[in-house]
Amino acid sequence: MVARSFAGGGSGVKPDVTFEDIGGQATAIKELKEALEFIKNQSDIQKLGIRPLKGILLTGPPGTGKTLLAKAAAGYTDAAFVTASGSEFIEMYAGVGAQRVRKIFQVARETSLRMGKNNSIIFIDEIEILGGKRGQITSHLEYDQTLNELLVQMDGLKVDDRVRVLLIAATNRVDMLDPALLRPGRFDRQVKVELPDREGRLEILKLHTRNKPLAGDVNLDAIARETFGFSGAHLESLANEAAILAMREKLRQVHHRHFHEAVDKVMMGDRLDRQPAPAELKRVAIHEAGHAFVSEHLRRGSVSTLTITPRGQALGYMRQTPEDDTYLYTRDYLENQVAVMLAGAVAEEMMLGGRSTGAGNDYLQATKTADQIINCGMSDLGVIDPEMLPRSLRYRTQKKILLAQEQRVRDFLEMKKKELGRVVDLLLEQEKISGHQLRSILDQETGCA
């Protein structure tokens, strides 16, 4: 069955999501509501001879609330809600996809009539699977036929249809869509659904902790600050994981430390039971302490946690707190990031006489960042066309940036060798050090306490 009505087969059930349940998306909600007025004020639209709005495209990264917005739109317009994913239309057999497109429009109309409603919203997630540029998959024309059928169905929507059907589609690859879908009269409204900013993350955290008993020490503002780059789905998972941690400790309330730990879990994956050998553990501690020292040195207060607990793909990690949400980066900022990335390997070399494969991912990130400096015209080459830059020149420029930062890190860590050793010992003993603890150790060493 292509179409499912919301709430798992109970067709005729109204989606129970409202715009109030969606956090950090004020602009998207405003734009979507404006578009939906076309459906709400049907008689005015008809009198003025305005053609119906046929499609709204929600674009943005995964987990930002596109499905929630579509559900809330159905509630807002008192419409029946029918949903499917782009992949459900794609079959190897010719004609099946097109047939399914016709079917979903038919189901939308029938569901609406059964519910005694005038409106119906069809939500298609991952529209790029069915609406990709035509003629690109040469092996068979099934994809093209399916998309053609969707265009035909959209063109067939009339303002005076008994049931007015609106198609809402979601994608995070708008660049892949066939231009025919984006031309006026098809998806002629596009609503961007971005990752939430700090305020937005706080709003979402509040929404997802509404039903959880929070202890007095919980500071959601601080959690919102620490979770730059998290989507709504990440934040929902974070709140859930925090509650699970509290339950494991048999507590009745969720405390701040549970949220703090849940950030690690959502970012890095599950804790692994595997325990590395002592020598390896020491190397990991040195590596992570190296990252943390340089990070703190370059931006005081930037280290949030330092740990040698293996999680997901990482044997240990240092988590940085972004000061404020940042969307633009200067050369200094990027060079500092390169320095932090290289610091793990440099610390290993300094304390153990050699490096390990543990730094592979750091180098990858560091080269990417160096490339960003070059591509954005901030390297010694000045403004360049990245496509025209000879590979050897790119390589030499990258290398120069990396070597300069490596030297800077080495000079700094050499001066801090003793303190580094002390933090490594503590890390081996405690497994985890908070940024606060690290700073107090550094202050003692410099006599600032």
Q: Choose one: 22-30, 87-95, 181-189, 256-264; the region binding ligand ATP (CB under 6 A).
A: 22-30
Q: What is the contact mask toward ligand ATP in residues 267 to 286, using x (rule: CB under 6 A)?
A: --------------------
Token pair for residue 445?
Answer: 């060493």
Residue of closest CB approach to ligand ATP: 232
Which of 2, 3, 22, 115 touches ligand ATP (CB under 6 A)? Answer: 22
Q: What is the contact mask toward ligand ATP in residues 185 to 224, using x (rule: CB under 6 A)?
A: -------------------x--x-----------------
Q: Is 62 in the site for ligand ATP (CB under 6 A)?
A: yes
Q: What DSSP designation does 272 have?
A: P
Q: Is 86 in the site for ligand ATP (CB under 6 A)?
A: no
Tell me how far, at minimum, the Cβ of 449 lies from ligand ATP, in Å.
42
Tell me how far, at minimum, the Cβ of 252 lies from ligand ATP, in Å.
24
Angle among Cα 256, 258, 264 to the nearest 5 degrees reads 115
- In DSSP terms, which residues pair with 214 in a beta bridge? 254
Q: Is 236 in the site for ligand ATP (CB under 6 A)?
A: yes
List residues with catalytic annotation: 288
Answer for the pair 110, 61: CB distance below 8 angstroms, yes or no.
no
The residue among 19 and 293 lying less far from ligand ATP, judged by its C-beta, is 19
Cβ-proximal residues to 276 (8 Å cutoff; 6+ apart), any chain:
284, 310, 315
Q: How many residues bind ligand ATP (CB under 6 A)?
A: 19
CA dist., res. 350 & res. 424, Å (int): 13
Tell me how far, at minimum, the Cβ of 108 lies from ligand ATP, in Å.
19
Q: What is the contact mask toward ligand ATP in residues 105 to 134, using x (rule: CB under 6 A)?
A: --------------------x---------
The residue among 13 and 350 lying less far from ligand ATP, judged by its C-beta, is 13
Tell me how far, at minimum, the Cβ of 193 lies from ligand ATP, in Å.
6
Q: Which long-range contacts does 154-157 make (Cβ < 8 Å, 24+ apart)? A: 154/54, 154/55, 154/185, 154/186, 155/185, 155/186, 157/52, 157/54
> What is the residue type of 144?
D
CA proximity to 173, closest of 23, 24, 66:
66
Q: Choose one: 46-54, 60-68, 128-136, 421-429; the region binding ligand ATP (CB under 6 A).
A: 60-68
CA dist., res. 23 & res. 234, Å (int): 13
The residue among 225 and 297 lying less far from ligand ATP, judged by its C-beta, is 225
> What is the residue type of 369?
T
The residue among 62 and 377 lying less far from ligand ATP, judged by its C-beta, is 62
Which of 5, 11, 67, 405 touches ligand ATP (CB under 6 A)? Answer: 67
CA dist., res. 389 & res. 419, Å (int): 43
Q: Is 170 in the site for ligand ATP (CB under 6 A)?
A: yes
Residue count of the chain: 449
Answer for the pair 128, 115: CB distance below 8 angstroms, yes or no.
no
Answer for the pair 231, 67: CB distance below 8 angstroms, yes or no.
no
CA proximity to 371, closest of 359, 384, 358, 360:
384
Which of 3, 5, 6, 25 touches ligand ATP (CB under 6 A)? Answer: 25
Tell me how far, at minimum, the Cβ of 307 lies from ligand ATP, in Å.
27
Q: Is 406 in the site for ligand ATP (CB under 6 A)?
A: no
Sign of CA dihedral 58, 62, 64, 69: positive
Query: Regarding beta strands 119-125 and 189-192, do their DSSP bridges make them parallel or antiparallel, or are they unpaired?
Result: unpaired
Return residues touching ligand ATP (CB under 6 A).
22-25, 62-68, 125, 170, 172, 204, 207, 232-233, 236
